[in-house]
Structure 1
Amino acid sequence: MVDAAVGSCTVTTGSDPEDGGSSSQSRIKSLDTTFTIVESLTDLDGARVTELADRTGLSKSTVHKHLATLVAHGYVVKEGEEYRLGFRFLDLGGYVRAQFTGADIIKSKIQELAEKTGEVAQYMTEENGEAVVLYREDGHHGVPSRTRTGKRMYLHQVASGKAILAQLPEERVDEILERHGLPRATDTTITDPDELKAELEEIRENGVAYSYGESTKGLYAVAAPMMAPDETVLGACVVSGPSHRMAGEPMDEEIPEILLSIVNEVELNIAHS
C-alpha cells in the first residue's frame, strides 16, 4: 500500500476499486471533506462558516475554501453570510433519475396509484444495499412522512425494501445484512435475520410486502416488487398511510389489487418499449 501526495490531497492506493466506497483506502481526502460539508449543509438546512466548522470539526479556513469552490461551480449558493445547496444538484439528480429503466412510465403510474388509493404512493429502488425513493406522489388523503425524492432508507425497515430483498439472490441479501445490519426504527422493526428471511419467503409466495409501523410508528404500508424483462428486480411500488385507514380490507385486498395491477402494467410496458 502506497500513499501518494497529489497537490494538497492525499490519495491512498492499494484497495479493491469495487469495494463500494466503504473503505478508507483509494480515497481523496479533500473530496471526503467536500462531501462532509455538503452533507452538513443538508442537515443544517444551510449554515454559516462558523456553524459548519463546529459541525464538522474542520477549521474555518478549510470550510471557507471548500465552500468557495462549491460556489464557483454552482453547487452552493451564498446568501449574505449563509450558504445553502444550489439547484445544480437538482440538475444532476434529474439526470440520474431519467436514466432509470422505465422512468417516464413509472412516474405517471405512481401518480395514478396515488389518485386511486388516495394515499402516499412511492417508487423505490435499491442502491448500495439501501432503498432510494425515486418518485413520491401524495393522494388526497396523503399524510406527511420522513420520505422525499432521493431519501435513502434501510431496506428491512420499509415494505418496498422488503419487497426488493425478497427478489434478490440469497447471497446478495446476506451481503446487505452484513454491511448495514438490522437497525431498529420502531418497536416493530424486524431486527432478527432469521425472522426477516422467513418474512421474505412469505413475500415471494404472496407477491406483496407489508410494513406495520416498522419505519414510522403508526404508518402502515403495502408494496409490490417490479421486475425487469430478465427477471431481475428493478424496484418496488408502495402505498402508505395511517394505520386507522390502512388496516383491514385496504391492506389485505383493495390496495394490493390496485398495486399489482399497476405493477403488471408497468412491467409489460417496459418489456415492450
Structure 2
Amino acid sequence: MKSFNFENKSRDSRKELSDENIAPYLPGRNLVDITGIIKKNKKLITVSRKEMDHLVKLSNEAVYLHLLENKQLVTVDKYESTNYVKLSCETGLPFPLYATAPGKVILAHIDESSLDDYLDEELIAYTINTIVDKDRLKAELKKVKENGCATSYGELEAGVLSISVPVFEKKEIKGAISIAGPEYRVYKRQGEYLTALLESVKKINQKLN
C-alpha cells in the first residue's frame, strides 16, 4: 500500500465535546485550484460522470466526486439535487479526512504507519458527532475497509448524512464518490443509496483497472 504523509492541520486540542469547544469554523477550507487535478484525472472523471448522473437521478440528492491530491481530499465534480432543501458545496473545496465519509474511505485504505502519522495531532470536533477518539476512529476505519463504504452522520456539519464508496485506479486509492443530503431525508433511503453506490463504483473501477 502506498504511504501517504498526511497532515492533520488541527489548530487546537479538544478533548471534551461541548458547545464551548466545538470548532465554529472549518480551518484550511480555502478553495483549491483544481485545473491540474482535472487534467491529470480526465479519464477517471469522464468515466465517473455517467454513473454520477445515474446516482443523482435515482436519489435526487447531491452526488460528489472527491479526489486525493497533495494530501487533501478535494471535490472535483458534483451533481446537485433539485430539492428545495439540499446540500451544496463548491468544486475545489478540500475536506478534513477524519470527519467526512469520503475522507474515512481514504484513511481506511492507507497503511497503518501513515494513519498513525495522520492521527498524531489532536482532532478537532466540528460537531457533537465528530469522532475525536483515535481508538474509536481506528475501529470505525477497520469496519469501513471491511464493508467497502463509509457514512458520516453530521460529523462535519450538523444535519448532513453522507454515504461514500472508494474509487481505485490500478489498485491505488484515488478518491471517493458520495451521496449526501439532509439527514432526515437520506436516512430513510440509505440502504438503497449504498447499494446503488457500490454498483456504480464497481463499474467505474472495472473501467479504470
TM-score (norm 1): 0.61
The more displaced of 126-135 and 148-157 is 126-135
Equivalent in the alignment of 1:103: 45
Q: Distance in 2 between matches of 1:93 and 1:114?
A: 22
Equivalent in the alignment of 1:177: 119
1:197 equivalent among 135, 138, 144? 138
RMSD of Structure 2 on Structure 1 (CA): 2.6
| Contact persistence 2:152–2:162 (CA under 8 A) | yes
Please say if 1:235 is aligned against 2:175. yes
Gaps of 5+ in 2: 8-28
Structure 1 residue 134: Cα displacement:
1.2
1:226 equivalent among 164, 167, 175? 167
Structure 1 residue 20: Cα displacement:
9.1
| Contact persistence 2:108–2:144 (CA under 8 A) | yes
Aligned pairs for 1:70-149 (under 5 A) are 93-100=34-41, 102-141=44-83, 143-145=86-88, 147-149=89-91
Please say if 1:257 is aligned against 2:195. yes
Identity of aligned residues (%): 26
Q: Distance in 1 between matches of 2:101 and 2:38?
A: 21
**Match for 1:136: what amino acid?**
K
Equivalent in the alignment of 2:97: 155
Change (3 A) 1:93 1:207: closer
Q: Distance in 1 between matches of 2:164 and 2:153?
A: 12
Name the one with the larger helix percent.
1
Q: Distance in 2 between matches of 1:144 and 1:205?
A: 28
3-state DSSP class of the match of 1:214? coil
3-state DSSP class of the match of 1:224? strand
Please say if 1:269 is aligned against 2:179. no
| Contact persistence 2:61–2:86 (CA under 8 A) | yes
Gaps of 5+ in 1: 1-18, 22-41, 44-88
| Contact persistence 1:110–1:135 (CA under 8 A) | no
3-state DSSP class of the match of 2:123? coil
| Contact persistence 2:6–2:71 (CA under 8 A) | no
Structure 1 residue 211: Cα displacement:
0.4
Larger radius of gyration: 1
Structure 1 residue 136: Cα displacement:
1.3
Structure 1 residue 182: Cα displacement:
1.8
3-state DSSP class of the match of 1:133? strand
Aligned pairs for 1:61-76 (under 5 A) are none
Structure 1 residue 183: Cα displacement:
1.3
Equivalent in the alignment of 1:6: none
For residues 227-249 of structure 1, give each alpha carbon's deviation from its aligned partner in whole angstroms, at most 9, with x where no partner exists: 222x221111111111111114x
| Contact persistence 2:164–2:177 (CA under 8 A) | yes
For residues 4-59 of structure 1, give each alpha carbon's deviation from its aligned partner in whole angstroms, at most 9, with x where no partner exists: xxxxxxxxxxxxxxx999xxxxxxxxxxxxxxxxxxxx97xxxxxxxxxxxxxxxx
3-state DSSP class of the match of 1:157? coil
Q: Distance in 1 between matches of 2:46 and 2:36?
A: 12
| Contact persistence 2:6–2:117 (CA under 8 A) | no
